[in-house]
Structure 1
Amino acid sequence: MYAPRIITSICDKIKLFYEANTLKHHNFKGCWQVCHAFSIVNIPAVMEKRVCMFNWFKPDPGWIKLNTDGSYNGKVAGCGGILRNHLGQVIKEFAGPVMGNSAFIAELNGIIYGISMCIKLGYNRIWIEVDAMLLLHYINNNSSFNAENYYLIRHLKQDLSNIIYKISHIYREGNVCADILAKVGCNLLEFTKFNDHDIPKVVKGLVRLDRVGLPYIRYHDGIK
């Protein structure tokens, strides 16, 4: 039980694991300074936190923008959405409960309800923005093969065939208005529509920030 010998043996083992590609450089994230102790000198890159700044953009005149989201807290699901004009002003917002046990099912219900609401209000040029890449996959790839959600996806595509639309992805940080409304929906017993004067105060504040173009900040891991 000679301490220096044990330490040396451990260091040799760590180095062997790295050379055998069992340990990889990203396993040392946050403790790069110890690599030299294991005689590891060929780290290909260093991971660091990077900052991404982006904005919520207003639609063009003649278009409206629909942001939707879904939420599942482990017990109940809900969805929500917000509809805004080319000035960034709120036309309608909604939130409501969803029968399901995943955020994706809630997101599907949210976009379906939102598009239906737009059509009922007489809008047919809609810019849809969501933070779920899987939704974009099903819409843009002309695929509806998903046994669990087949009928919801078919319903969605039927509604989309009746409007002129474009759809894009936004990071969750920029979709925060819809995200908050989706969480509100988890606590409601039925779907509720809001106007600009009766929406939750926190959402009203975020709408104003979107309107003036305040950027959102997203932190993610990047290679240095």
Structure 2
Amino acid sequence: MKPPPGWVCLNSDGAVFGGLKRSSAGGVIRACDGSWILGYNRSTGYCSPLQTELWGMLIGLKLAWDHGFRCVLLQSDCLMAVRLINDDSTSVEHSSLIRSIGRLRRQHWTTRVEWIPRQANKVADALSKIRHADDNELTLFSNPPVAILSLLSRDSQGPPYIRS
């Protein structure tokens, strides 16, 4: 779903690799017309799938804020993370991440958090899986990596490939 005019869309995702639970998060910020603004990914260490999804949301929201966007539609394919964020839950296991996201959302801006099907989140999924150094440095992509160009093109044309 595209955001209203004047808004940006932030899609985030997390990935956990193998039995070691090594994880990373990634995402993309796009204009209301679907065009690329900024992509990101970062190793998140050793996290559960839900923690990794929450890290992706937090990193993406911080980037959106730092880049001056004040109307942000955050989309994630992790329904549990979306519910925790929208309820401002104090789930003991993930409370520090949820509180950090909540504090950030209470800044002087407008954010909306929505669930989307996994098939509509392919660009963020691919960005979360791009391998990089095992440090926690944030990698920014001012242009889309070649490996995701076909996904970006398909996403910007809308989601006719999503089952109803």
TM-score (norm 1): 0.67
* Match in the other structure for 2:17: 73
1:128 Cα deviation after fit? 0.6
Identity %: 30
Pairwise mapping of residues 158-197 of structure 1 onto structure 2 (< 5 A)? 158-162=103-107, 163-184=109-130, 187-189=132-134, 190-196=137-143
Unaligned runs of 5+ in 2: none
Per-residue Cα deviation, 1:177-196 (whole angstroms, up to 9, x for no partner): 10111111x54332200012
What is the correspondence of 1:11-50 to structure 2 with a 5 Å cutoff? none
More moved, 204-213 vs 67-76:
204-213
C-alpha spacing 1:187/1:102, structure 2 compared with 1 (3 Å): farther
Largest Rg, 1 or 2: 1
Q: Report SS of the residue matched to 2:88.
A: coil
Distance (Å, rounded) in 2 between the aligned partners of 1:143 and 1:214: 30
The number of aligned residues is 159
User: Would you say the 8 A contact 2:88–2:98 is kept in 1?
Assistant: no
* RMSD over aligned Cα atoms: 1.6
Question: Distance in 2 between the 1:160 and 1:94 partners?
Answer: 19
Counterpart of 1:66 in 2: which secondary structure?
Answer: strand
Q: TM-score, normalised by structure 2?
A: 0.89
1:117 maps to which of 40, 43, 63: 63
1:124 positional shift: 1.1
Structure 1 match to 2:81: 135
Post-superposition offset of 1:142: 3.1
Q: Structure 2 CA distance, aligned partners of 1:152 and 1:161?
A: 14
